[in-house]
Chains A and B, each alone.
Chain A
């Protein structure tokens, strides 16, 4: 489903050149739940951003379902992100001025849907993460675990085939972290969603099918 071939990412500033990723060759099959591990600064988030089309590699190609998408224009990449990919961030990144329901609706705003259709899909997504009773709350009124569940609902509301989670339990205690992992596993088993999760936590990585390890921007065994 996702193939990275000889992907390299180089960051350049006026004074410094940083090779964040080097010679990354990775293939991720549909419905896999894989974790990406490594020490801080090894390129995990960079890898996730490239897979999620938020960033482009300096060299190499990224293929999605056999199509090389690295050279596509921003507009087309935005559409793929909207339709195929959902993101879950460590710090949730909910918009504090919007209610839970409005936050979850965000991905649907960029599709041709009516207001009632968007609302129906958002309520369904919130129901799946057991937050249907909080639709009119604001993020500041929720616990960390609840906020992350809202973020998951936002990520899955458009029924993407791929979920990218960057340290989804990083800001949560272990109990809440287990709750989040339960939801992700359910999505992977029942919805057949492909999930790529960046984590520091070996315990969480062991709950996934496969672990990709990075060190200094390279894949290691």
Chain B
């Protein structure tokens, strides 16, 4: 029976090539856009080197201190992180680092921009960077305020034409560092590890950061196991109440929870960082809603095309019903035909999405990003294609199933 359905399906597709083209275009285009978006989200929030242990990692990214009449928010401050996060019990490791900042270098008479990040030694023990040369700087380097640096391969190319760089010197932001390691590029979407140049925190030009509750820092907490994460969140939340303010009349509340970056974004978007709870489900819900809304238009288009296609086949419907097909049998037939069409559109979509992701990677629009089709993206894409197939086929098939065989044979529609 399936073979008969498939034969009929192919013949129907070839009969009205233009409609088939419209349907396939709609499905494949929508799939391309969605898979690129999913790939971007996966790239930003999924597990990706050097963040290979995300399932047991939390961060303290955003902080806000508020009082009766004023509120200041931004990234977490070193003072809070050093006193309350670095000392967390029952964790494997904690690292403090800055958000990357733009610095200028002058090389061979040319002005070069780079993103520089200051980190401690534990940073390299939590994140699994791929070293092309040399080694990371250590806890001892950081304690001793050694002017050492790790650079990425793009920086090596910019400054040294890709020649070996370890042992050479690089100038950034008016400071001179000896290069101890070169790592593979990290995409800009990876907020925790990303930079062009990494140097020890202790080489900062001033100590002012040490007193800040809201500053330019982030904390990265590696738990011993995944099940410890809730306990860590609760402990950090409890410590927030112990933060002392220099002027309690101005500020008396501090919020800087331990969370994933996705949770942090959600909290900033929906609560402006005022709340300690993040409710990531809200952001996920918004993303899913936008994706569903985006899919709705081609789905409705496909429904419309399918309804007119099915009504053209009223004679066939009448004949099949006359010879013993039940309404549900016919619904099944038309859904199978539609799923076949959407799988063909889906296959085209995969191919185009692959090219689109390659193009996006090569364009350099998102610095150092390398987009690949992995099994997660493939499965999401397949789910999207099947969603199209089933939902855009169900309504037309149901409408068709209500057609009275006598009316169908006379060529009348509902």
Contacting B4 at CB < 8 Å: which of A81, A105, A158? A105
* Segment with Cβ contacts to A, from B229-237, B267-275, B298-306, B323-331: B323-331
Q: Is A95 an interface residue (CB 8 A)?
A: yes
Task: Report yes or no: B327 in contact with A81, Cβ–Cβ below 8 A.
Answer: no
A81 to B324, CA, bound (A): 5
Residues of B within 8 A of A78 (CB): 321, 324-326
In the assembly, what is the distance between CA of A110 and CA of B330, in Å? Answer: 11
Partner of A110, one of B318, B329, B404, B406: B329
- Interface-lining segment among A49-57, A141-149, A170-178, A213-221: A49-57
Minimum distance in angstroms from B192 CB to a CB of chain A: 58
Closest to B3 in A: A115
Q: Any chain B CB within 8 A of the CB of A74?
A: yes
Query: Which chain B residue lies CB-closest to A46?
Result: B406
A93 touches B3 (CB 8 A): no
Known: A49-B406, A102-B4, A109-B1. A81 touches B323 (CB 8 A): yes
Is the beta-carbon distance between A107 and B327 smaller than 8 angstroms? no
- Contact among B12, B320, B326, B406 for A54, CB-based, below 8 A: B406
Q: Which residues on B sit within 8 Å (CB–CB) of A95?
A: 8, 315-316, 319
A106, B326: Cα distance in complex, Å: 13
Q: Knowing A105-B4, A109-B1, say if A79 contacts B324 (CB, 8 Å).
A: yes
How far does the Cβ of A12 sit from chain B's closest Cβ, in whole Å? 14
CA distance in complex: A86, B315 (Å): 16
| With known contacts A95-B316, A97-B8, A115-B3, A107–B406 Cβ distance under 8 A | no
- A179: interface (CB < 8 Å): no
CB atoms of B324 and A82 under 8 A apart: yes
Interface check A75, CB cutoff 8 A: yes
Give bound CA distance, A105 to B8, whole Å.
13
Q: B104 at the A/B interface (Cβ < 8 Å)? A: no
- In this assembly, does B102 line the interface, its C-beta being within 8 Å of a C-beta of chain A? no
B319 in contact with A106 (CB, 8 Å)? yes
Question: Shortest Cβ distance from B410 into chain A, in angstroms?
Answer: 9
Q: Does A23 contact B (CB under 8 A)?
A: no
On whether the beta carbons of B322 and A52 are closer than 8 Å, the reply is yes
Interface pair B323/A154, CB less than 8 Å apart = yes
Task: Say whether B158 faces chain A, with CB atoms less than 8 Å apart.
Answer: no
Among the interface residues B4, B323, B409, which one has the most CB atoms of the partner chain A within 10 A? B323
**C-alpha spacing A111/B1, complex, angstroms:** 10
B15 touching A97 by the CB < 8 A rule? yes
Decide: A54 near B4, CB < 8 A? Known: A74-B327, A110-B329. Answer: no
* B-facing residues in A92-132 (Cβ within 8 Å): 93, 95, 97-98, 102, 105-107, 109-111, 115
A33 within 8 A of partner (CB):
no
Nearest chain A residue, comparing its CB with the CB of B15: A97
- The CA of A97 and the CA of B15, in the complex, are separated in Å by 8
- Note all chain B residues with C-beta closer than 8 A to A158: 323
How far, in Å, is A162 (CB) from chain B's closest CB?
A: 13
Residues of chain A with a CB closer than 8 A to B11's CB:
97-98
Interface size on A, residues (CB 8 A): 28
- Residue-wise interface mask of A (72-84) relative to B, using a CB-CB cutoff of 8 A (1 in contact, 0 not): 0011001101110
Q: How far is the CB of B108 from chain A (nearest CB, A)?
A: 71
A106 touches B327 (CB 8 A): no
Q: Give the shortest distance, in Å, between B319 (CB) and chain A (any CB).
A: 5
Q: Which residue of the partner chain B has the closest CB to A110?
A: B324
Complex CA–CA separation, A75 to B404 (angstroms): 14
Most A CB contacts (10 A, CB to CB) among B7, B12, B326, B327 go to B326
Residue of A nearest to B315 (CB): A93
List, in ascending order, chain B residues with CB within 8 A of A106's CB: 4, 319-320, 323
Given A54-B405, A97-B15, CB of A74 within 8 Å of CB of B319 = no
Q: How far is the CA of A154 from the CA of B322 in the complex (A)?
A: 11
Known contacts A89-B409, A115-B3; A54 and B8 CB within 8 A of each other:
no
Q: Mark B5-19, 1 if CB is under 8 A from A, else 0.
A: 001100110010000
Contact B325 A110 (CB under 8 A): yes
Nearest chain A CB to B133's CB is how many angstroms away? Answer: 65
Residues of A within 8 A of B8 (CB): 95, 97-98
Q: For residue A168, give the distance in angstroms from its CB to the closest CB of chain B.
A: 14
Contacts of B324 in A (CB 8 A): 78-79, 81-83, 107, 110-111
Taken together as a complex, chains A and B put the C-alpha atoms of A86 and B322 apart, in Å, by 8
Q: Please report which residues of chain B, range 392-414, place their CB below 8 angstroms from some CB of chain A when the two chains form the complex.
A: 404-406, 409
Q: Chain B, 273-307, contact with A by CB distance < 8 Å: what is the 0/1 string?
A: 00000000000000000000000000000000000
Chain A contacts for B12, CB-based, 8 A: 97
Report the bound CA distance from A19 to B324 in whole Å: 28
Q: What is the CA–CA distance of A86 and B323 in the complex, to the nearest angstrom?
A: 7
Complex CA distance for A86 and B405, rounded to whole angstroms: 14
14 contacts between A and B (CB under 8 A): A54-B321, A55-B406, A81-B324, A82-B323, A83-B324, A87-B323, A89-B409, A93-B315, A95-B8, A97-B7, A98-B4, A98-B11, A107-B324, A110-B329
- Give the 5 A-B residue pairs with the shortest CB-CB distance, closest first: A82-B324, A97-B11, A107-B323, A110-B324, A78-B326
Q: A49-B406, A75-B326, A78-B321 are in contact. List 12 more A-B contacts (CB 8 A).
A: A54-B406, A78-B325, A81-B324, A82-B323, A95-B316, A97-B8, A107-B324, A109-B4, A109-B325, A110-B324, A110-B329, A111-B324
